[in-house]
């Protein structure tokens, strides 16, 4: 086409037109020129779309997702074949990805999300193609790989990209977390894991990094002996070649890029039931299998409330302590923090939560990060139900109350008018990490409870089943689905209070409805503890959720030196092996300058944990009360935290 266009514009062409050519040739040229003109017009209209429609931050790249630099409206990925060779020595990955794509309309280019990648070669349908790698096109979102290629509407084609990841010398925020042997439990072998949600898949491979685009995956991972590698799919084959092991996985269900995950290290796999498995370092795998022994019954309880589990196997990996979350719902490969291994199964609600994402999030996926509540709020709502069915009504109520406390904390942190306290926050070319908090989880969950109270439990269960059967949803589509459902079930005259729950910022107007007697019981326990009247044995017999709730209630009182001394000496909470408890006590101690909370116990806690839910609020308290100490400890341990955590904690000390 390019050659023809040049020919068409050349002097030689004009001469020949006036000279020798007969009618047939003229006709042919006319046809070609019309085609070229049409093509030019199309190009103009694409340029128009891309330069004229501005978001508040700048150019809009597509109308589906303001956190993606890909032309999602014009082309979509159907299948991803990815091959990664993991080089622990250099801490880089050699990658090759083949994206099978389909043009939605006539296109002249494919734009992909990328971040900190060295792209070496690009082929379209096996032919070398020119490309342009734009670094930091939008600072918060990363790079863009633009590939020039003309395709017609509905045409399918393959893009093959050979690339490398870069050594992360400047601690940029990326998915990969490389660990030294000393950062593992076994102390012998290096380790690698990824965290792609929300917008870090683009640092693993060039892709359409938006939850609105879903693709099936073939994954091939090569690691040196004796290490093992796992990917977010079903293991289909493993081979050995000299000093290398290669593992092949297939993900037959179309998933968004943020659910792509790998991990590699000295790992062992144990079967728990027909379809559930635990993977962990050899030194930990037995303990982990015990903690998660009941996974099959959780899965069945969820299937009972929802629909059959469609991903065949369910496997969890317990990662080293640097893992920045409690859990991450990577399909067929849920990642878990080792902080959940407390010995009494009291933290297993995180596993239940991640399992539920197999429906809400991984089957029905939020269309973009402004409607993230559809992933997390729905999951938290179902989690609460399942906790009730498995552990009883009291645990369910407590679970809800603890969630409500975290909601209040988060709204307090942002201030009640901040857009991030809305379930439709404005995230315009920003990193969705900035607005990550308990709000989409708890406000979202409470909204669903509110809706359930309007139409009754049975009918609402049907609605939730309908919701999780969708492919992707945004908030407006959720609303339309709800209204249609209500209509079809002849329910009229109810007010779903959309504006107040979904659009408005701040605390929900309808407060959680909890039995006063239930609350009073814990108020009394907290008062007794505050007045040194609570017997040690009575405290010890409580479930860790009850202890946490009581500790939260103490936060309404003045935290005194005497109370801290009781918590330390009488109840021995500074020795708790449960970080849910320990981080609460440390924060109280930091806030009132209690010595024990500023010494070894503190630095040990911050060196032993990388989970942001715990270390972030501790660092936040330090940044406010003891910034020098906080910064000193942070500098000591930051190399062992994930780059996502490092970025967030760094910000606290800059304010
Ligand atoms: N998908 C989230 C983790 C996540 C969210 C990672 C956003 C990156 C960006 C996961 O399902 C989750 O919610 N984990 C929670 C546990 C849950 C019980 C609240 C966590 O890690 O604390
Ligand atoms: Zn979640």
pLDDT at 511: 82
pLDDT at 512: 83
210 is in an annotated binding site: no
Q: Which atom of ligand 1 is nearest to 376's Cα?
A: 13
Strands (E) across 257-323 are located at: 262-265, 268-271, 276-280, 314-318
Distance 495 CA to ligand 2 centre (A): 28
Pairing relation of β-strands 314-318 and 276-280? parallel
Q: Is the pLDDT of residue 195 over 50?
A: yes
- Containing 166, the helix (H) or strand (E) segment is none
Provide the token pair at 233: 């799919």
Provide the token pair at 469: 């059967």
Hey, which of 258, 371, 376 would you mutate to test ligand 1's pocket, going by the most ligand atoms within 8 Å of its Cβ?
A: 376
The residue from 420, 441, 571, 641 that is catalytic is 441
Digit-coded pLDDT (tens) for 342-382: 999 999 999 999 999 999 999 999 999 999 999 999 999 99
Strands (E) across 88-116 are located at: 92-103, 107-114
Query: How far, in whole angstroms, is CA 124 from its chain's centroid?
Result: 30
CATH architecture of structural domain 67-266: Sandwich (2.60)
Hey, which of 325, 400, 420, 434 would you mutate to test ligand 1's pocket, going by the most ligand atoms within 8 Å of its Cβ?
A: 325
Domain map of the chain by residue range?
2-52, 67-266, 268-358, 365-503, 517-654
Supply the residue whose CA is at minimum distance from atom 2 of ligand 1. 328
Q: Classify residue 392 as exposed, middle or buried by CB count within 10 Å of its CB (0-12, 13-18, 19+).
A: exposed
Distance 641 CA to ligand 1 centre (A): 17
pLDDT at 58: 74
Mean pLDDT on 35-50: 43
326 is in an annotated binding site: yes
Q: Tell me the C-alpha distance between 622 and 1, whole Å.
A: 63
Ligand nearest to the CA of 377: 2
pLDDT at 59: 78
Q: Which residue has the tokens 């709502």?
A: 381
Ligand nearest to the CA of 329: 1
Q: Return the SS3 of 169.
A: coil
Q: Is the pLDDT of residue 85 over 70?
A: yes
Name the residues around ion ligand 2, CB cutoff 5 A. Answer: 376
197 is in an annotated binding site: yes
376 is in an annotated binding site: yes
Mean pLDDT on 261-273: 98
Query: How far, in whole angstroms, is CA 532 from its chain's centroid?
Result: 43
Hey, which of 201, 330, 353 would you mutate to test ligand 1's pocket, going by the most ligand atoms within 8 Å of its Cβ?
A: 353
pLDDT at 28: 45
Query: What is the percent of the chain where pLDDT is above 90?
Result: 89
Please give the CATH number for the structural domain made up of 517-654: 1.25.40.320
Q: Which residues line ligand 1 (CB under 6 A)?
A: 197-198, 325-329, 350, 353-354, 357, 376, 436, 441, 613
83 is in an annotated binding site: no
* Ramachandran class of 219: left when φ > 0, alpha when ψ lies in -120 to 50, beta otherwise: beta
Q: Which atom of ligand 1 is nearest to 611's Cα?
A: 21
281 is in an annotated binding site: no
Distance 327 CA to ligand 2 centre (A): 7
Q: Which atom of ligand 1 is nearest to 354's Cα?
A: 11
Sheet (strand 131-138) strand order: 107-114, 142-151, 131-138
Q: Which residue has the higher pLDDT, 169 or 59?
A: 169
* Ramachandran class of 188: left when φ > 0, alpha when ψ lies in -120 to 50, beta otherwise: alpha
Distance 51 CA to ligand 1 centre (A): 36
Distance 328 CA to ligand 1 centre (A): 6
Q: Is the pLDDT of residue 48 over 80?
A: no
Supply the residue whose CA is at minimum distance from atom 22 of ligand 1. 326
Digit-coded pLDDT (tens) for 611-622: 999 999 999 999
Q: Tell me the C-alpha distance between 62 and 367, whole Å.
A: 13
CATH architecture of structural domain 365-503: Orthogonal Bundle (1.10)
Q: Tell me the C-alpha distance between 571 and 567, whole Å.
A: 5
Distance 347 CA to ligand 2 centre (A): 14
Q: Is the pLDDT of residue 277 over 70?
A: yes
Please give the CATH number for the structural domain made up of 268-358: 3.30.2010.30
Q: Which residue has the higher pLDDT, 565 or 57?
A: 565
365 to 65, 83, 259, 648: CA distances (angstroms):
13, 25, 11, 26
17-53 burial, b at 16+ Cβ within 10 Å, e below that, comes to eeeeeeeeeeeebeeeeeeeeeeeeeeeebeebeeee
Q: Kindly indicate the confidence band of residue 53, based on its pLDDT and cuts at 50, 70 and 90.
A: low
Ligand nearest to the CA of 376: 2
The residue from 146, 160, 347, 354 that is catalytic is 354
The single-letter DSSP state of residue 199 is T
Is residue 441 annotated as a catalytic residue, yes or no?
Answer: yes
Supply the residue whose CA is at minimum distance from atom 11 of ligand 1. 328
Q: Is the pLDDT of residue 639 over 70?
A: yes
Digit-coded pLDDT (tens) for 284-299: 999 999 999 999 999 9
Per-chain mean pLDDT for the chain: 92
Ligand nearest to the CA of 616: 1
Supply the residue whose CA is at minimum distance from atom 1 of ligand 1. 328
Q: Tell me the C-alpha distance between 553 and 566, whole Å.
A: 16
522 to 314, 542, 549, 622: CA distances (angstroms):
37, 11, 8, 29
Q: Return the SS3 of 554.
A: helix
């Amino acid at each position: 086409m390019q050659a023809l266009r040049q020919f068409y514009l050349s002097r030689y062409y004009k001469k020949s037109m006036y000279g020798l050519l007969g009618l047939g040739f003229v006709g042919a040229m006319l046809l070609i020129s019309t085609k070229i003109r049409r093509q030019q017009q199309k190009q103009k209209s694409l340029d128009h779309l891309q330069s004229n429609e501005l978001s508040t931050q700048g150019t809009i790249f597509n109308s589906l997702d303001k956190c993606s630099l890909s032309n999602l409206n014009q082309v979509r990925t159907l299948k991803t074949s990815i091959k990664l060779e993991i080089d622990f020595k250099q801490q880089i990955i050699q990658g090759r990805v083949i994206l099978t794509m389909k043009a939605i309309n006539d296109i002249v280019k494919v734009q992909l999300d990328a971040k900190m990648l060295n792209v070496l070669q690009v082929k379209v349908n096996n032919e070398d193609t020119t490309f342009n790698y734009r670094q930091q096109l939008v600072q918060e979102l990363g790079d863009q790989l633009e590939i020039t290629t003309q395709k017609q509407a509905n045409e399918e084609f393959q893009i093959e990209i050979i690339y490398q990841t870069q050594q992360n010398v400047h601690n940029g925020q990326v998915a990969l977390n490389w660990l030294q042997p000393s950062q593992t439990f076994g102390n012998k072998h290096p380790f690698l894991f990824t965290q792609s949600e929300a917008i870090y898949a683009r640092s693993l491979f060039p892709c359409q990094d938006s939850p609105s685009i879903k693709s099936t995956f073939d994954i091939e991972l090569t690691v040196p002996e004796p290490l093992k590698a796992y990917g977010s799919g079903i293991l289909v084959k493993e081979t050995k070649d000299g000093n290398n092991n290669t593992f092949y996985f297939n993900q037959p269900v179309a998933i968004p890029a943020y659910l792509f995950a790998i991990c590699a290290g000295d790992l062992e796999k144990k079967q728990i039931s027909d379809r559930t498995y635990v993977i962990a370092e050899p030194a930990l795998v037995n303990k982990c299998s015990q903690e998660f022994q009941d996974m099959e019954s959780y899965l069945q309880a969820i299937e009972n409330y929802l629909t059959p589990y469609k991903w065949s196997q369910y496997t969890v990996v317990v990662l080293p302590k640097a893992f920045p979350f409690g859990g991450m719902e990577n399909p067929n490969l849920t990642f878990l923090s080792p902080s959940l291994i407390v010995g009494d199964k009291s933290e297993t609600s995180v596993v239940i939560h991640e399992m539920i994402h197999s429906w809400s999030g991984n089957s029905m996926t939020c269309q973009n990060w402004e409607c993230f509540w559809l992933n997390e709020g729905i999951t938290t709502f179902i989690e609460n139900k399942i906790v009730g069915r498995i552990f009883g009504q009291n645990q369910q109520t407590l679970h809800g109350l603890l969630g409500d406390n975290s909601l209040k904390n988060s709204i307090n942190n942002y201030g009640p008018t901040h857009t991030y306290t809305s379930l439709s926050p404005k995230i315009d070319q920003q990193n969705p990490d900035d607005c990550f908090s308990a709000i989409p989880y708890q406000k979202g969950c409470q909204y669903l409870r509110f809706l359930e109270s309007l139409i009754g439990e049975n009918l609402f269960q049907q609605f939730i089943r309908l919701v999780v059967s969708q492919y992707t949803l945004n908030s407006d589509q959720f609303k339309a689905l709800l209204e249609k459902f209500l209509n079809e079930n002849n329910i009229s005259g109810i007010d779903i209070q959309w504006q107040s729950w979904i659009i408005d910022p701040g605390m929900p107007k309808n407060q959680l409805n909890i039995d006063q007697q239930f609350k009073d019981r814990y108020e009394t326990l907290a008062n007794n503890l505050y007045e040194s009247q609570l017997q040690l044995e009575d405290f010890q017999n409580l479930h860790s959720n009850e202890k946490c709730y009581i500790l939260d209630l103490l936060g309404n009182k003045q935290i005194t030196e005497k109370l801290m001394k009781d918590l330390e000496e009488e109840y021995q909470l500074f020795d708790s092996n449960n970080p849910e408890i320990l981080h609460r006590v440390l924060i109280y101690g930091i806030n009132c300058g209690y010595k024990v909370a500023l010494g070894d116990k503190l630095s040990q806690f911050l060196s032993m944990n990388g989970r942001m839910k715990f270390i972030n609020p501790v660092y936040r308290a330090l940044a406010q009360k003891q910034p020098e100490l906080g910064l000193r400890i942070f500098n000591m341990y930051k190399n062992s935290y994930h780059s996502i955590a490092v970025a967030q904690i760094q910000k606290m000390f800059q304010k």
